[in-house]
A and B are shown apart, each in its own frame.
Chain A
Amino acid sequence: MSTSGIGQSVRRVEDIRFITGNGNYTDDISRPGQTYAFFVRSPHAHATIKSINTKTAAAAPGVVGILTGKELAADKIGGLICGWMIHSKDGSPMKAGAHPALAVDKVRYVGDHVAVVIAETLNQARDAAELVEVEYDVHAATVDTATAAKPGQPQVHAEAPNNTVYNWHIGEKDATDAAFAKAAHVTKIDLINNRLVPNAMEPRAAIGDYDRGTGTYTLFTTSQNPHVARLVLSAFIGIAPENKLRVIAPDVGGGFGSKIFIYAEETVCIWASKKVRRPVKWVCDRTEAFLCDAHGRDHVTHAEAAIDASGKITGVRVKTTANLGAYLSTFASSVPTYLYAPLLSGQYNIPNIYCEVDGVYTNTAPVDAYRGAGRPEATFVIERLVEVAARELGRDPAEFRMHNFITTFPHQTPVIMAYDTGDYGASMKMALDMADYKGFAARKAASAKAGKLRGVGFSAYIEACGIAPSKAVGSLGAGVGLWESAEVRVNPVGTVEVLTGSHSHGQGHETTFAQLVSHRLGIPIEQVTIVHGDTDKVQMGMGTYGSRSGAVGMSAIQKALEKVIKKATTVAAAVMEVPEDTIDFNDGIFEARGTNKKMAFGEVALQAYVAHKFDSEKIEPGLKEGAFYDPKNFTFPSGVHIAEVEIDPETGITKVEKWTAVDDFGTLINPMIVEGQVHGGIAQGIGQAMLEGTVYDKSGQLVTASFMDYCMPRAHDLPSFNVGMTTTPCTTNPLGIKGCGEAGAIAAPAALINAITNALGHENIAMPATPQAVWQAAKSSPHKIAAE
């Protein structure tokens, strides 16, 4: 077995450039003659633009051009789109207002794009931007999620009365109500899933560059899916036809969902580069990122569980209001609907589920997918509900979960999903061991002696990844197919380039994808190069999000590799003059059974190109194959996380003492990288649960618009993590991969809040459970401690 194949913790190929400062991020790129864009943004959450006067600004030093929504409209540049149609329960399509890249008549959130100033230097652009005079008629703003749809609230878009985009539902209401009518016990909980700002460390950036000679546009952008960006910019926004538009997403410094979307700034840069006849570069500063990157989460939920006398959950009923922000971002509509409610069954055998979701507009930044996208929200609901139910019933939370686990597969939930495989009990048992759950009581007693409150919390999560079968998502309203493409180009010397539609922005695809190739072709990993992120190189692709690159992207590569091997076998058979079906291919060698004839993969590649030794009428020269892989089903990673915390009731400081994660991701390509994904996800989940709070005031000003007020997890906020794996390979893709990118962020919030509430002896505490909130709750804790 190769040391660089599947299952090996190969050190990353891409690291060399990152650790030496040779990465190539969008802001590192400069185009000859480039200009700099600075956006004039709305200081108001809700206002009518009465006038924009650019005269003084235009005369400022270095200004190359100032553009507003008027010019955009005159050039017939279309608005930004939302690519997933959701229908309300009455069958009506969602009600969406227009989303121009530069506001025309109204601004709808603080940071909304009013004009762009383009100048020779960034300082000049910014200096001049202050001279753009915008007269606003300021209106009251709708900010609060829970009350946005109440009559009488300020209306964000005329198209959406009562700020309601849709009233969606899923599941059987009557059957679920019947289950509640028969229930021996009903657990109820009210939850807020707090709004988060993604904060990838690399701020977004874009360079638009129009080549007048060829009429071709090039856009360098911080994108997780450059091909989708090209498709949208071309087919919907109308910048240029796809063959005249190249999108390059070079090294991208983290995405977490926020770089999936097609934003106003890159649209304006690419359009403006033709207007000003110069390349136009824009780099987001952190405050702009806080204001304008699509945020995540922001749900208000009431949830109930019906439980029978034996302790089995017989029904779950959920009502959620989801804040979609001021405009519908690219996939905003799908996140609180199809990416959310179908996961409400968790790991449990629940015969009846009914969920209603109201999507509402507010005068806040658009809300869209953020690491986990809908699935963390679902997990938080079901795992809080189950935890509280166990407490109310006086049952051990681990035992109560296991009592309700699904144990036979495949399992059809009442909300779309058909789980192919899993062993939830195995993960739970392993996690209990690793966390020394048995020793918890003693540790709690020791903490109490020291005046501290100790708690333990579980989260048995499931997620749906590898999105997804194109036909299925199409029937649910998606505007695109969610397959992935791959092309394997074998060079005459046997080196290989793999072109993939997936995009790596921290996931390590250049390593893991090469491992798959190395494994299957039996060649050293050094002979493999992964090419991604350039629409001129990779023909088409759907990009990286929803933990799909392994399950879908690598499946496409696997499919292409099989075609390469088949073709190479044909060539080898012809060269060795043996029948094709006598050839075995193992560890890079084509060997004719029953003979001493064999050829190495590299030799076959050379022969394929030399084409001297076969009849090219029958066998085409060359060795290059492509594949499109459309998944048969979602994949269903699952696992159990156990958090253990110690609270100082005097200050409210919560210390995460222990974190145990046991995950089942199916086949692991590179355990080191998988564990890294788990670590990062947990950190973001802990961030959500106890550190990160996004606060808008009543007028719609973002109070937490910098790292001074928005608490990013730092090293000292977190413990080291204890990570274990169980494995049930996915049955619906060729490699058995389930996906690992979001698990930590999905599992962690519920585990941590369950631990904190366990320590405090309260049923609920709002996220983020800041020291102040914990201190407040600790004052009324029924758990008295020795020192008090």
Chain B
Amino acid sequence: MYAFDYRRPATLNEADLALKAAPGAKLLAGGQTLIPTLKQRLANPGVVIDLSAIPDLKAITRKGDTLHIGAMATHAEVAGSKDVAAAIPGLATLASHIGDPQVRHKGTIGGSLANNDPAADYPAAALALGATMHTNKRTLSAQDFFQGLFATALDDNEILTEISFPIPKRFAYAKFPNPASLYAMVGVAVAETAGGPRVAVTGAGTDGVFRVPALETALTGGFKADALKSVTIPTTGINGDIHGSPEYRAHLIGVMARRAVAAA
């Protein structure tokens, strides 16, 4: 790691001030991506602002038809939350399969979404569920929030504070993990929402998480796995690497989508 200065604000306001005072600073949530990145000297932020001491960013609550999850809630907390299990059980299941148990004790939903790793699980869920991102400045729809590989609509001085999920009729996520890293090689989130079926894919897009209209249309007639059998996913926009070609990933999108629908 390059040397950096460290701040550990106790309130959101302090964090905001620290961020303003240090252009280029990095926010440290759970650190499960940021710290490995720093260790490899792929980033040299100068200042690291640790959000872990801010108490009110961790709450998980249900308000009517919406599930609110604080940005600093860990994957283990989401996975173990009774509110999540009751409202969107598939989201708890998703959280319970992120990384490994130790990562789940540290990694946070806000960190994951703000990082927008193209192979992370949460972006698919947020997009499929039509989540709303709350920052210390504004709210953003998931659709507007994700802006390509490791890119989001967050400004340099903006802190993601909470994610709210409209509770769907059904939701599930099926992941084909990269055998080495355990990140999603293909992860498909499916939701039957008030506005119709939504399908979002992570791990496979050259430009990050994306929705699949063809699969959504196929599910409009009935939220059944069989409805997806005839849909072929084209390889346009699908990424390839040593672990999986675009053809393989495109195929897996179909398989995982069917499995997710069956599980939802």
Contacts and interface: CB of A to CB of B under 8 A. Distances in A.
B85 to A, nearest CB: 24
B179 A650 contact: no
Interface in A695-738: 695, 703-704, 707-712, 717
A691 interface: yes
A417 B101 CA distance: 50
Contacts of A775: 248, 251
A772 B180 contact: no
B148 interface: no
Interface in B172-188: 176, 179-181, 183
B179 A704 contact: no
Interface stretch (B18-26, B69-77, B238-246): B238-246
A141 B161 CA distance: 49
**Which of B40, B180, B251 has the most chain A CB atoms inside 10 A of its CB?**
B180
A709 B180 contact: yes
B252 interface: yes
Contacts of B40: 287
Contacts of B41: 130
A776 B245 CA distance: 11
A708 B177 CA distance: 12
Interface in B29-74: 40-41
B3 A772 contact: no
B243 A651 contact: no
A287 B3 CA distance: 21
**Which of A651, A691, A717 has the most chain B CB atoms inside 10 A of its CB?**
A651
Interface in A668-700: 691, 693, 695
A775 B251 CA distance: 10
Given A123-B3, A703-B242, A704-B242, A651 B180 contact: no
B12 interface: no
B255 interface: yes
A120 to B, nearest CB: 14
Contacts of A710: 180
A686 to B, nearest CB: 12
Interface magnitude class on chain A: 20 to 34
Contacts of B3: 123, 127
B76 to A, nearest CB: 19
Contacts of B245: 772
Contacts of B176: 651, 771
Nearest to B36: A708
B252 A693 contact: no
Interface string A766-788: 00001110011000000000000
A711 B242 contact: no
B5 to A, nearest CB: 15
Contact of B252 (A651, A691, A703, A707): A651
Contact of B242 (A652, A695, A707, A771): A695
Nearest to A704: B242
Nearest to B176: A651
Contacts of B252: 651
Nearest to A691: B179
B180 A712 contact: yes
Contact of B255 (A287, A651, A703): A651
B242 A717 contact: no
A704 B255 CA distance: 27
A772 B255 contact: no
A568 to B, nearest CB: 55
A651 B178 CA distance: 12
Contact of A709 (B1, B242, B248, B251): B242
Given A123-B3, A693-B242, A772-B243, A711 B180 contact: yes
A652 B243 CA distance: 12
A650 B254 CA distance: 10
Contacts of B255: 650-651
Q: What 5 pairs across the A-B complex have the smallest Cβ distances?
A: A711-B180, A708-B181, A711-B179, A772-B248, A650-B255
11 contacts: A127-B2, A130-B41, A691-B179, A691-B180, A709-B243, A711-B180, A770-B179, A770-B243, A771-B179, A775-B248, A775-B251
